[in-house]
Amino acid sequence: MSETAAVILARRRLQGEVAALLPQGLRPQNFAQAFALQQQVAALLPSAIAGWKCALPTVDANGEKQVVAPLYAAELCRFPTAICPIWPSVLPQSKGLARVEPELAFVFHTDLPAKGQGEPYHKADIDAAIGGVHLALELIQSRFLPDSGALYFDQLADGLFNQGLYLGPAVAVKDVDLNQFLLSISTDDALLLQQQAQHPNGDAKAALYWLVNFLSAQGIGLTAGQAVITGSYAGVLELPIGPQIQIEFGQLGAFSLQFQPRVC
């Protein structure tokens, strides 16, 4: 794909710019082009890849959709830091709010080098490489205007709505169900949300197993310290910027944070 397209998308990500589609001649037309452009953007950004977002592939009338996009160290906040910079939403219905997805992050403590087209990693190998499971929030923002008409390949090249990650505390309870929990979100003044949250695949690790072998086949390994998120337990949430917010993932744990507008 064109380096011009990668430069545009990288600049938008760094500056928090939301704009129109790329010129038609620069737009990816298939998965291979979109993924290649995504990786070109990653190479241009002045930040290491700190992990990945993923979900199990799905098929609809337009074909298969594979959810895979890098997370960047410069956009990652770690507990116990209580301040989380975020680009506020530009959507008309949520303008000025923080758009986030409650997730669990699997953090690796050993490397899983790429095997290319060789034998895939077995589930036991991947499980053994996981050092911990953390509460997390994916920070959501597309670099395309809501009415731009961006399609799946456009969004894939742009990072699939990701603008960062808040990596919360580790799940301290052993042998606990990671597939569902009671999600409660509140400020000092009000309960904002309480609902039963459930992983969209019914198995929080299913997409992780897929991701490791997909990346391996592309010549991309995972390294110790990287985090992988595998899908939102409650869709996209729209939360206030400014007040202290308490977020409880049922018996998995809890944390507090304050969203603040990100600046370049």
Range of 122's domain? 3-261
Q: What tens digit of pLDDT does each residue of 136-191 get?
A: 999 999 999 999 999 999 999 999 999 999 999 999 888 899 999 999 999 999 99
Top-confidence residue, 172 or 104:
104
Could you report how far apart the first and last alpha carbons of the chain are, in Å? Answer: 27
Whole-angstrom Cα distance, residue 43 to residue 238?
31
Whole-angstrom Cα distance, residue 40 to residue 38?
5
Whole-angstrom Cα distance, residue 122 to residue 133?
19
CB 134 within 8 Å of CB 45: no
pTM score above 0.85: yes
Q: What tens digit of pLDDT does each residue of 49-78 get?
A: 999 999 999 988 778 899 999 999 999 999
Q: What pLDDT does residue 1 have?
A: 64
Q: What pLDDT does residue 64 have?
A: 87
Q: What pLDDT does residue 28 have?
A: 98
CATH number of the CATH domain containing 102: 3.90.850.10
**Number of independent structural domains in the chain:** 1
pLDDT at 257 over 80: yes
Q: Identify the burial level of 100 via C-beta atoms within 10 angstroms of its C-beta, where 0-12 means exposed, 13-18 middle and 19 or more buried.
A: buried
| Mean pLDDT taken over the chain | 97
Query: What per-residue string of b and e applies to 195-208 under the rule 16 or more CB within 10 Å gives b?
Result: eebebbeeebbbbb
